[in-house]
Amino acid sequence: MGGIGKTTLAQKIYNNKKIQTEFQIKVWVSVSQSYNEIELLQQVIRGAGAYYGEAITRTELQPLLKSAVHGKSLFLVLDDVWRADVWINLFRNPLQSADAIVRILVTTRDENVAREMGVVHIHPVKQLSIQTSWEMLC
């Protein structure tokens, strides 16, 4: 269900002091229903502090992503994921082979998408009360 606070909760985690101090690289990408894989890869590379130059294909960008996070710690938020292929086709190989500490937080409306992605911990978010919603924003 949309609008129940998945992104707000993810933002609280992303901005948590422990996340900020434990990870060298923190990147947030909004995936959405119709994403552009090249732009997502470029956004993560840029967020990792690297340069992708003239690279405009997945084949060129994935090794650059791997190199950008090699030997570092990365906290990546994939927000509003509609299909598992964003992980499977774009990020899985370069991030799993990067010799890096990588933690990924995924928000999705579909628990099956999370399962296809191989998510280890699923935390279903129930609709929040108005009071709790306001408290999270503060």
Domain definitions of the chain by residue range: 6-137
Q: What is the reported pTM? A: 0.86
Stretch (H or E) spanning 114: helix 111-117
φ, ψ (nearest 5 deg) of residue 104: -125, 130
Average pLDDT over residues 4-13: 84
Distance CA 48, CA 70 (A): 10
More confident residue, 19 or 8: 19
CA distance 40 to 60: 13
Amino acid at 80: D
Using CA atoms, how far apart are residues 103 and 26, in angstroms rounded to an integer? 10
Per residue in 77-103, pLDDT tens? Answer: 999 999 999 999 989 999 999 999 999
Instruction: Domain 6-137: give its CATH superfamily.
Output: P-loop containing nucleotide triphosphate hydrolases (3.40.50.300)
Residue 86 and residue 33 in contact, taking contact as beta carbons nearer than 8 Å: no
